[in-house]
Structure 1
Amino acid sequence: MDWSVFPLFLGACGAAAATGAMFSPGQWYRDLSKPIWTPPDWLFPLAWTVLYICSAIAATRVAVLGDSAHAMGFWAFQIALNTLWTPVFFGLERIRAGALVLSFLWISVAGCMVTFFMADTLAGLLIVPYLVWVTIAGALNLSVWRLNPEKAALG
């Protein structure tokens, strides 16, 4: 593994994480009806920190392998969608659009995981928790949509 590329992937993850600081959940989100199984607020930054580090390590392992173009394409697509979701959902307050972004994010993370497994088993394993978390986030986004039809109708 070539650790010299790790800062590049970690930096991309940091850019995605920065949107969480710029578009943090505000009163709008606190006022939404949410399912009882909604994770506590303190868990989100902790989970994302671990997931971003694992994702950057996984990408570092795969990027230096031959024939990794598809895997790295999925990684780039998922980090772009990851970066997009927070401004759409929290910044623009668009529940439906957030669900759409999350749908494509889930597909891209699943593609990333599968192609990483094909290239490097450990890299694939490092993406599994990310897919689980995005699945939970997707279920939460859809539940918020269902529980707040008047606000979801706005976008």
Structure 2
Amino acid sequence: MLPIAVAAVITVLVLAAGRMMTTVGPWYRNLRKPAWNPPDWVFGPAWTIILGLAAWSGVLAWANAPDAAAQLRIALLFGVNIVLHMLWSPLFFNLRRPDWALIEIPFLWLSILALMAGLAPLSSLAVWLLLPYLLWVTFAAFLNLTIVRINAPFAPAKS
């Protein structure tokens, strides 16, 4: 029960922090975006589902971990992923540097692959639950790349 509660709290905190670090204001609204850019309202529910599935994945892996060393690896893999996950929004929205956010995405993507590889020996379902996360970040990378291509160059945000 404790792993479920911890995963739920962490997920809620990550979602709340992500929401606070995502300023969808005039700067973002004035960016040119491709026709296939989802409407703004899609992102909140998508991230809620994706991070909920990731939390479930972590709980499954934790429950199947054979020892404390395996649990530590799980925590480290998720910790690195959370840090990389949390970097993207401030880069894109607060610093107004989609180009820097684009540079960060491969590291986030690789952290999801590392999670999948690290959890695979513990639970195949845990790996499958991370697939929507990997696919969404892949989509986001193409969207971010397109936004950079049609809006560059970017200057540092003005205070």
Aligned to 2:117: 114
Alignment of 1:45 with 2:40, yes or no, is no
Matches within 5 A, 1:1-155: 3-22=1-20, 23-64=22-63, 65-66=65-66, 67-151=70-154, 154=156
- Paired with 1:146 and 1:154, the residues of 2 have a C-alpha distance of 17
TM-score by length of 2: 0.86
**Unmatched segments (≥5 aa) in structure 1:** none
Q: Is the 8 A contact 2:109 2:134 kept in 1?
A: yes
- Paired with 1:8 and 1:100, the residues of 2 have a C-alpha distance of 31
**Hey, which bits of structure 1, 4+ residues long, moved more than 4 A?**
none
Q: Is the 8 A contact 1:85 1:101 kept in 2?
A: yes
Q: Give the superposition deviation at 1:77.
A: 0.9
Cα deviations by residue, 1:87-127 (Å, 9 ceiling, x for unpaired): 22111111121112222101101111222222201111100
Identity score, percent:
33
Secondary structure of the residue that 1:38 maps to in structure 2? coil
Aligned CA RMSD, in angstroms, stands at 1.7
- Paired with 1:10 and 1:21, the residues of 2 have a C-alpha distance of 16
Q: Give the superposition deviation at 1:52.
A: 1.2
Give 1 or 2 for the bigger CA radius of gyration.
Answer: 2
**Unmatched segments (≥5 aa) in structure 2:** none
- Paired with 1:48 and 1:14, the residues of 2 have a C-alpha distance of 11
Q: How many residue pairs get matched?
A: 152
TM-score by length of 1: 0.88
> 1:19 and 1:86, CA in 2 relative to 1: closer, same or farther beyond 3 A?
farther
